[in-house]
Structure 1
Amino acid sequence: MRHTMGNTPHLLTTARIIMAFDLELWYLRSLKFMISHNYLGPKLLMIKAMIRDLASFLYIIFVFITAYGVVSRAMIMHNKVDFNIYGIFSQIFYPPYSFLFGEMAENKNRTYIAQTSATYVLLAIHMLFISILLLNLLIAAFGFTINNVQVNTAFYWEYQRYLLIREYFEKPLFSYPPLTILPHIWYLVTHIFSKFIKPHNHNDNNHNNEEPQTTKEKFFSKK
């Protein structure tokens, strides 16, 4: 991209970000090979099951974060929020999200004392539900999931190991880069052959089979 696009820092930055995310996913995908390990495999299954539990709580947490972020910014930062993607996420969604990790740096507006006081009341209610209620409920769900996987560790590990071995056993020989281009070329050739060449040969065979039939019909019609 550097040679084709020239000196374009924005495109290079975009490409660097995409490559960074791709590298992150590649590292995470490399954990898949640890499933075959008898100790680390069940731990990965626990993480996978806990991610499913977390996904069910994300919507509830998002509702609480959105409610507090919009209401509090409407009172203490009226007409000060930039209504673009960066402003909405950095000034509305991120401050309530940072409260989950103990960052309590809330803005103090001495001009609107009543609105600031109401914001702190909302903050207390927000922290009560998010930090105490929902997070503890999520931890309890994690504990139940871990116990469930721990009881059936041997079964889950053997089944996941079987799936991993079968996946690589059923893959073709050239299914890994850079050899993946060869199966695609083969599939393209077979598709063209089945669509254009094979129907043409089939029509020729049908035409050859119809000629004796027509001669027989002419012979019997004369009789």
Structure 2
Amino acid sequence: MDTKEPRPAESRPHTGRRRNEAVRRAILDAALDLIADADGAPVTVETIARAAGVGKQTLYRWWPSKGAVLLDALTDYAAQEVPTPDTGSLRDDLRALTTATFEASQRAPSAPALRTLVREAARDPHLAELMRNFTESRRAAVRGILQRGRERGELPADRDVDLLVDQFYGFFWYRFLLGHAPLDRATADRLTESLLR
């Protein structure tokens, strides 16, 4: 009779339920690059998976839809390229965020990706909802800066913070989509002063 204790089963490699950060990064980068280069061609789960070098089941395991992947990619890119400053000065924080927003919107892959997503959102209600979620996350960054400034007494208590946020992004989207005037550092300075006047 064998009295040896049974050996524990060897641990199996992880099946992929947890996100591998390198794979996640490859998927987000591929999604953003594809939407930036789409020029009207459809971006699908299959094309994202192929470009990232993964199976489409990996995307569906981590995101419920193509739109969710695109939203995550855009949100992640915006967080990296346009971090929310907190220097202790309302004017400095607002100027830094405005400058970073304008500069990021002029570079690839952000500029063509945003234009493509806005165009597609006009035809796709699900993508339109995702774009609202993305823009709300960016609005929250501006709102946070303004509210901190109000708490420090740098912004009068009677100023309508949401109206200021609308003015900030109304200005940005108007110039970004129509391209009739620059979104440069000098413009960021003027908009900052105008909002705080």
Question: TM-score scaled by structure 1?
Answer: 0.21
Higher helix share: 1
Larger Rg: 1
- TM-score, L = length of structure 2: 0.24
